[in-house]
Amino acid sequence: MIDDPLRNLIRTIPDFPKPGIQFRDITTVLRDADGFGLAIERMRAALDGHDVNMIAGIEARGFIFGAALAREMGLGFVPIRKKDKLPGRTIGMNYALEYGQDRIEIHDDAVGKGDRIALIDDLIATGGTAIAATRLLRSAGTEVPVAVFLVDLPDLGGADRLSAEGPVVHSLVAFDGH
C-alpha cells in the first residue's frame, strides 16, 4: 500500500449501506484540519493548467470541497442540488439510478454562457451523478473541461464514463473494489 497521508485518513466501513459494500468515509478527512487542507491543496493542483472561472459542487459533500476550493482560488461556487431543494427558478437533468431515476438542478441564472466550470465531488463510483451534472451545466451553455474527486472507485468505471463525456478527470485517491 502506498503511504499517503490523505489516503490513510479515509476510513473504510465494511458492509455499508448494504452487505458487500466497502464504504469510503471521508468525514475522517474533514475532521482533520491538515488532511482537509491537503485535500484542497491537491484539488487545486489538479486544476493547474485548466482554464476555469467557476467551481460547481455536487450535493452534498461536493459542496464542502467545492466551496473551500472556490474560496481558495477566488472563484464563484455553484451548488448542484437534488430536486426541489432550490428556492428560485431552476433547470435540471434527470439521470438513471439502479432502480428508477433522480434529478439534479441549478438555479437558471447560476451560470453564464461560456463559463468554464470545474466539477467537484468527494467520490466517483459509477459516474451517473457526475455525468448528469456535466450535461446539466453544458445545457446552460457552459463548458466543463475538468472534474476533480477526492476518491475514485475505478472498478465501477465512473471516471472512465465521465472522461468519455469530455472532462479531464482527476482523483486524489483510488480504492479497489466498491
Given 24, 31, 61, 138, which residue is catalytic?
Answer: 61
Question: Is 116 a catalytic site residue?
Answer: no
Residue 91 has pLDDT above 90, yes or no: yes
The domain spans of the chain are 5-174
Measuring CA to CA, how many Å separate 73 from each of 9, 21, 55, 137, 167?
24, 35, 9, 20, 20
Q: How far apart are CA 118 and CA 111, in angstroms?
A: 12
Residue 1 has pLDDT above 90, yes or no: no
Given 11, 89, 98, 103, which residue is catalytic?
Answer: 98
Question: Is 98 a catalytic site residue?
Answer: yes
Between helix 33-47 and helix 61-73 the angle, nearest 10°, is 70
Can you give the pTM of this predicted structure? Answer: 0.95
Q: pLDDT band at 97, cuts 50/70/90?
A: confident
pLDDT tens digits for range 104-152: 999 999 999 999 999 999 999 999 999 999 999 999 999 999 999 999 9
What CATH number was assigned to the domain covering residues 5-174? 3.40.50.2020
